[in-house]
Amino acid sequence: MRAFITGATGFVGANLARLLLERGYEVRALARPESNLNNLKGLGIELVEGDLCDPSLATLMQDCQVAFHVAAHYSLWQSDREQLYHSNVLGTRNILAAAREAGIERTVYTSSVAAIGVPKDGRIADETYQSPVEKLIGDYKKSKYWAEREAHEAVQNGQDVVIVNPSTPIGPWDLKPTPTGDIILRFLRRQMPVYLNTGLNLIHVKDVAEGHLLALDKGKTGDRYILGNENVTLQQMLAMLSKLTGLPAPKSTIPAWIPLGVAWVDEKILARLGKKPSVPLDGVRMSQQMMFYDATKAQQQLGLPQTSIATALKESVDWFVNHHYATLKESKD
């Protein structure tokens, strides 16, 4: 069985590519010419150069039986609106069309809980919930919503597509890193004197990779599956990191209006004067919500594993330290 994968150079994709190889798949990975290939070094993967909107993608997919469309452009900067639409929406449309033309038997599309949104009444969202697109915060979330619509349209046209919606993965191979990986890094570097009162659903990135294969094998065409595990506040996450590393967790919260003010000045004023902004306004707005999700459907119908979050955090810390992103000069006995 040969699998075609986009986004293999990224966090989730690199873990998925490794799992596919472990399970005996031949893997063909799409990568842009300028992509950082460090996550794929030493792997027996066939690399093909191309872009999500490349008109010749169907040719690159020839002889593959299944496809995983993991790649997406992630940005919370309002100035990246057009690029987000081009990569995430048009790129998904093109990938799915190419998969159909190439005779791919089944495609797993990696959406995100970002496309689902957060209920206003404080409920924990599952696959049946959907925020109106205009209520989704930021162009990244909106682009993932519209990309998921592309997947549903492909299904309506007779294509076999299963949708997975990862929550917040943590673990090894977080090369860039992701925003959550950046929180872990700032904690390790002693750069978090305060924290925001927010919450998120964490899951080990290896469980997310496993969820993709489970969706391929057991998922229902056209269904979405939240790949998540434990809902935690940021304070709880930092406390777990403190217990793992022996480093002190920040004790004070910061009121949201302070980073909101900084972000507004950054994006609305300084960015227009040529200064690179440091705090995304939409990122701060998102952090005012408790981004909690219920992954029961994927657990019951797919058998999604639930590795402990403490293990996931430890493997994330170990990977960052071993790859020289941070050091642990202070450690717990």
**pLDDT given at position 109:** 98
Using CA atoms, how far apart are residues 333 and 330, in angstroms rounded to an integer?
10
Q: What is the pLDDT of residues 219-243, one digit of tens each?
A: 999 999 999 999 999 999 999 999 9
**pLDDT given at position 283:** 63
Q: In 3D, which of 181, 242, 210, 180 has the Cα closest to residue 307?
A: 210
Secondary structure of residue 69 in the 3-state scheme: strand
Q: In 3D, which of 159, 157, 71 has the Cα closest to residue 112?
A: 71
Mean pLDDT of 190-200: 84
DSSP string, 146-180: HHHHHHHHHHHTT--EEEEEE-EEESS---S--HH
Torsion, CA 34, CA 38, CA 41, CA 47, rounded to 10:
-30
Do the Cβ atoms of 4 and 68 come closer than 8 Å? yes
Using CA atoms, how far apart are residues 312 and 333, in angstroms rounded to an integer?
20
Per-residue pLDDT at 76 exceeds 50: yes
Using CA atoms, how far apart are residues 308 and 314, in angstroms rounded to an integer?
10
Using CA atoms, how far apart are residues 289 and 294, in angstroms rounded to an integer?
16
The ranges assigned to domains in the chain are 2-170+204-229+292-306
**pLDDT given at position 331:** 44
Q: In 3D, which of 111, 130, 127 has the Cα closest to residue 294?
A: 127
Per-residue pLDDT at 265 exceeds 70: no
**pLDDT given at position 122:** 78
Asked: is 2-170+204-229+292-306 a CATH 3.65.10.10 domain? The reply is no
Q: In 3D, which of 98, 93, 216 has the Cα closest to residue 160?
A: 216
Mean pLDDT of 49-62: 94
Q: In 3D, which of 130, 206, 119 has the Cα closest to residue 163?
A: 130
The pLDDT mean for the chain works out to: 90
**pLDDT given at position 267:** 61
Per-residue pLDDT at 266 exceeds 90: no
Is pTM beyond 0.75? Reply is yes
Better-scored residue on pLDDT, 287 or 333: 287
pLDDT band for position 332 (50/70/90)? Answer: very low
What type of residue is 142?
K
**pLDDT given at position 203:** 98
Q: What is the pLDDT of residues 103-147, one digit of tens each?
A: 999 999 999 999 999 998 878 999 999 999 999 988 999 999 999
| Residue listed under structure tokens 């941070």 | 326
**pLDDT given at position 262:** 58
- And the tokens for 174? 């977080």
**pLDDT given at position 333:** 41
**pLDDT given at position 231:** 97
Better-scored residue on pLDDT, 43 or 270: 43
Could you list the beta-strand ranges (E) of the chain. Answer: 2-6, 26-31, 46-49, 66-69, 106-110, 161-166, 168-170, 194-195, 199-204, 224-227, 230-233, 252-253, 290-291
